[in-house]
Amino acid sequence: MTTRLAVFGNPVQHSRSPEIHQWFGETAGIDLVYDKILIPGGLFEETARAFLDAGGHGFNITVPGKGDAFNFVDEVSSEAALAEAVNTVSRQGDALRGDNTDGQGIVTDMTQNLGWKIAGARVLVLGAGGAVRGVIPALLRHQPQSVHILNRTKVKATAIAQSMADGKLSAVSADEIGAEYDIVINGTSAGLTSELPVLPEKVIGRHTCTYDMVYGGSDTTFNLWAKHLGTDACADGLGMLVEQAAAAFRIWFPEAGHIDTAPLIQHMRSTLV
């Protein structure tokens, strides 16, 4: 029997999740269809109910529905609870469960695909939107020395630090920032318009690893800037995209076991312009 999955968003046409999950399905021998479903303004619950009533097995949620999905489900994972955002909904018996796999996606890409060490690292995270909320709990679980959040609207960074209440996590402003972090993550959406978040150059040293959640066919604006300052350990968010999807796939199909994502990342990389 064909399993029905989908991603909900608005817009949603750009999403690459269908091809990723189709590839996982073929690799694991699972017959599935994975659709893109537009959430008409304010109609998350109706859209989700209709999909589930028609036999949908589970779904992903992208911007702007992650908060609606958090309120919609019956139970949430600890990551989703801390992020107050859900990107994966699954059926657990009669209940609906919400997970947030963005954090697992980025830390798997950093530690397993790129070989970076988060344990003991001084980490700077730029931005304080939904994506940053999703990744901070996973970063903290990997025992960094510290995680600083810098956002142009500081009050949003402070709210994240307060809500997660972890001694290693704090909100900083550009003038209180330290020098040379081990890892700098760009979690702002500035790169979507080729802009650079305002950031002192001193945060980047020769040994700094930079990760831009945005991805594209060539170096992102942020990673180009970091390379110009002397680092060459730069990654973009394509691996995060694939790994957060792999984590969602494991939730829906725990019997599928481990899937090697490297060939898919390589293939998708070759198709980016």
Residues found near ligand NDP in the complex (CB under 6 A): 63, 102, 105, 127-132, 151-153, 156, 187-192, 195, 197, 213-215, 237, 240-241, 244
Q: In this complex, which beta carbon is closest to ligand NDP, that of residue 27 or of residue 158?
A: 158
CB of 215 to ligand NDP, least distance (A): 6
Nearest approach, Cβ of 166 to ligand NDP (angstroms)? 19
Nearer to ligand NDP, 52 or 81 (CB): 81
Tokens of 217: 């066919």
Between 107 and 128, whose beta carbon lies closer to ligand NDP? 128
Q: Annotated active-site positions, please?
A: 66
> Taking the complex as a whole, how short is the minimal distance between the CB of residue 62 and ligand NDP, in angstroms?
8
Burial (CB < 10 A; 0-12, 13-18, 19+), residue 22, is: middle
- How much is the CA Rg of the chain, to the nearest whole Å? 18
109 DSSP assignment: I
- Which residue's Cβ has the minimum distance to ligand NDP? 129
Beta carbon of residue 24, minimum distance to ligand NDP (angstroms, whole number): 15
Residue 11 or 120 having the CB closest to ligand NDP:
11
Task: Write down the residue that tokens 């898919």 correspond to.
Answer: 264
* 41 Cβ contact list (under 8 Å, min separation 6): 10
Q: Which of 169-182 are b and which e, b meaning 16 or more Cβ less than 10 Å from the residue's Cβ?
A: bebbeeeeeeeebb
